[in-house]
Amino acid sequence: MAGPLSPKRPCRPSSGTELTERGPREGRAASGGCILRGMSDRAAAASPLIVVTVADPARSDDHALTAHKNELYVAGIARHGGTPALLHVGTPPQERDRLLAAMDGLLLAGGADIDPTLYGETANGARGVDPARDALERSAWREAERRSLPVFGICRGFQAINVFSGGKLLQDVPSHAGTPYGQGPAHTHDLEIDAASRLGRAVAGAAPDGVAAGDPEDAALQLQVNSFHHQAVGLAGLAPGLRSNAWAYSEAGRLVEGLESHDGRWVLGLQCHPERTESTPEELEGVWADFIQAATAARARRPAPAR
C-alpha cells in the first residue's frame, strides 16, 4: 500500500524547455496554443501533438488564475515529451479544425460543471455550466474516438468521458469539493486503485521502491489524492463500455474516481488533479508517461503523407 505523499517537483517542463505563446504569424495566438521553445525540429517532429481542451481565460472572472491552471496541464504533457496545444471556445473554427485533425492525443481538462441535460437530467446541484465548452469537447471526443486516439480526462474531463459515453453524474457531493484553489492546502482522501487495471499498472510502474507497488498478491493499491470537485460519478452512473479502476468514499456512497475503456483503447479518466503536483503523489506521473507513450504510438501509426 502507498505511504505518505512523495516530495513534489516544480510544475515545469523538463530539459529546460520554455513555455511560450505563438504569435499571430504562427497561427496559435487566438487558440492559446502553447509550443515548446528550445526543441529541435527533429524532436518536435517526433513529439506527439496533444490537444488540451481548457477554459478560455478571456471568458473567466479571473484571467490570470485560469491561465495558470491551463499552464499546469501544459507542463504535465511537456514533462513527458509531448507537444501541447490549448483549445477553448475562443479558438477560431479554422484553427480548431486544424488542431483536431493534427492531434495524436486528447486531454480533457478540468473546469465548469457539465450541463445535466446531456445526461437527461435537470439542474439539481450543477452550477456554472458551460454549454459551449460541452459542445467543443464532445466534438473533440468524437474525433478522437473516430481515429482511436488516446484520451486522458481530468476532473471535469473524467466526468465528460463518462457523460459522452452514456453515463450520468451525481450533481453535488459537498464533502469532496475541498479547498478553493489558492485558498489553502488541498483537501485529500484515500483512493483505492485496481492493481490489474491500466491505471494500476501505470501507478505501480512509476512508484518509488516499496511505495505504491505493495504486496504482489494485493488486488488494490492505495494513494492519497487531492479533491477539488463537487460533482462525481456514482457506481450506478458509470457508462456502458467503461470500467471503474479507482474508488473513494463519500456521503453519497462509494464513488468511481478512475475509469478506463473496456475495449483496450487508451481511454483513462481521473477525478483528482495530477497536474497539481504540490498535492499529488509521485506515482501519478506514471499516468502522464503512459498517456504520452500511447500518443507517440498513435503518431507512428499515421499514414505517410502523399508525395
* Each residue's pLDDT tens digit, 225-246: 998 767 889 999 999 999 999 9
- Structure confidence at residue 17 (pLDDT): 30
pTM for the whole structure = 0.84
Which set of grid coordinates corresponds to residue 13?
Answer: 517542463
* Each residue's pLDDT tens digit, 268-282: 999 999 999 998 999
* Each residue's pLDDT tens digit, 101-150: 999 999 999 999 999 999 999 888 667 889 999 999 999 999 999 999 99
Domains of the chain: 18-300 (3.40.50.880)
- Structure confidence at residue 69 (pLDDT): 93
